[in-house]
Chains A and B, each alone.
Chain A
Amino acid sequence: MSTLHSKAAQRFLETNKNARWHDDTFWVLRAKRDVMAHELDEWERLRDVACAIKRHTVTHLDRYLEQFVGNAERNGIHVHWAKDAEEFNQTVLSMLRKQGVKKMVKSKSMLTEECGMNPYLESHGIDVVETDLGERILQLMHKRPCHIVVPAVHITQEEVGHLFEEKLGSEKGNYDPTYLTYQARLSLRDEFMTAGAGMTGANFGVAETGDVVVCTNEGNADMSTSMPKLQIVAMGLEKIVPDYKSLAVFQRLLCRAATGQPTTSFTSHFRKARPGAEMHIILVDNGRTDIIGEPEHWETLKCIRCGSCMNTCPVYRRSGGYSYTYFIPGPIGINLGMLKDKVRYADNVSACTLCCSCDNVCPVKVNLSEQIYCWRQGLDSIGKADLVKKSMSLGMKYLFNHPQMYDTALKFAPITNHLPHVLMYNKLNGWGYGHEMPVFKKQPFHEIARNILKDEDKKGNI
Chain B
Amino acid sequence: MSTKEEILSRYRRNMKVKGQYDMPDLDALNGIEYADAVSQFIAMSRTVGGEVVTLEPGADVNEVIRKAYPEAKVFASNVPGIAIAQRNPDTVESAQELNGTDVGIVQGDVGVAENGCIWVPQTMKERAVCFISEYLVILLSRNNIVSNMHQAYCRIRMTDYGYGCFISGPSKTADIAQALVMGAQAARGVTVILTD
A69 and B163 alpha carbons, distance in the complex (Å): 17
Query: Of B14, B29, B174, which one neighbours A46 at CB under 8 angstroms?
Result: B29
Which A-chain residue is minimally distant from B152 (CB atoms)? Answer: A248
Is the C-beta of A429 less than 8 angstroms from some C-beta in chain B? no
B26 touches A55 (CB 8 A): no
A140 and B100 alpha carbons, distance in the complex (Å): 26
B14 touches A292 (CB 8 A): yes
A255 and B116 alpha carbons, distance in the complex (Å): 13
| Closest CB in chain A relative to B123 CB, distance in Å | 13
Name 26 interchain pairs, CB-CB below 8 A, sorted by A.
A42-B30, A48-B24, A133-B176, A153-B175, A177-B177, A185-B185, A219-B131, A244-B154, A245-B26, A245-B150, A245-B154, A248-B31, A248-B148, A249-B150, A251-B153, A252-B148, A252-B150, A262-B47, A264-B168, A266-B168, A271-B158, A271-B164, A289-B10, A289-B11, A292-B16, A293-B15
A289 touches B14 (CB 8 A): yes
Would you give the 0/1 interface string for B24-44, flagging 1 where the beta carbon is closer than 8 Å to chain A? Answer: 101101111000000000001
A25 touches B15 (CB 8 A): no
What are the 3 tightest A-B residue pairs by CB atom distance, in nearest-first order?
A272-B162, A219-B186, A293-B14
Is the C-beta of A218 less than 8 angstroms from some C-beta in chain B? yes
Collect the chain A residues with CB atoms within 8 Å of residue B116's CB.
262-263
Assuming the contacts A181-B183, A223-B186, asked whether A133 and B175 have C-beta atoms less than 8 A apart, the reply is: yes
Is the C-beta of B179 less than 8 angstroms from some C-beta in chain A? yes
5 more CB-based (< 8 A) A-B contacts, given A181-B175, A217-B171, A245-B154 = A56-B22, A237-B7, A245-B26, A251-B166, A272-B161
Would you give the 0/1 interface string for A276-292, flagging 1 where the beta carbon is closer than 8 Å to chain B? Answer: 00000001010001101
Query: Of A227, A266, A269, which one neighbours B186 at CB under 8 angstroms?
Result: A266
Residues of B contacting A: mostly: loop
Which residue among A83, A155, A177, A298 has the maximum number of chain B CB atoms within 10 Å of its CB? A177
A218 touches B22 (CB 8 A): no
A226 touches B95 (CB 8 A): yes
A252 touches B7 (CB 8 A): no
Interface size class of A (residues with CB under 8 A): 35 or more
Would you give the 0/1 interface string for A179-190, flagging 1 where the beta carbon is closer than 8 Å to chain B? Answer: 011101100110
Collect the chain B residues with CB atoms within 8 Å of residue A223's CB.
128, 131-132, 185-186
A218 touches B184 (CB 8 A): yes
Tally of B interface residues using CB under 8 Å: 78
A62 touches B162 (CB 8 A): no
Assuming the contacts A262-B116, A266-B165, asked whether A62 and B150 have C-beta atoms less than 8 A apart, the reply is: no
A69 and B5 alpha carbons, distance in the complex (Å): 13
A216 and B13 alpha carbons, distance in the complex (Å): 36
A298 and B150 alpha carbons, distance in the complex (Å): 28
| Closest CB in chain B relative to A317 CB, distance in Å | 14
A295 touches B17 (CB 8 A): yes
Collect the chain B residues with CB atoms within 8 Å of residue A393's CB.
none
Which A-chain residue is minimally distant from B114 (CB atoms)? Answer: A262
A229 and B33 alpha carbons, distance in the complex (Å): 42
Is the C-beta of A160 less than 8 angstroms from some C-beta in chain B? yes
> For window 124-152 of chain A, which residues contact chain B by CB distance below 8 Å?
131-134, 137, 150-152
A193 and B172 alpha carbons, distance in the complex (Å): 20
Is the C-beta of A81 less than 8 angstroms from some C-beta in chain B? yes
Is the C-beta of A45 less than 8 angstroms from some C-beta in chain B? yes
B15 touches A59 (CB 8 A): yes
B165 touches A218 (CB 8 A): no
Is the C-beta of B91 less than 8 angstroms from some C-beta in chain A? no
A131 touches B185 (CB 8 A): yes
Collect the chain B residues with CB atoms within 8 Å of residue A252's CB.
31, 114, 148-150
Would you give the 0/1 interface string for B101-130, flagging 1 where the beta carbon is closer than 8 Å to chain A? Answer: 000000000001011110000100111101
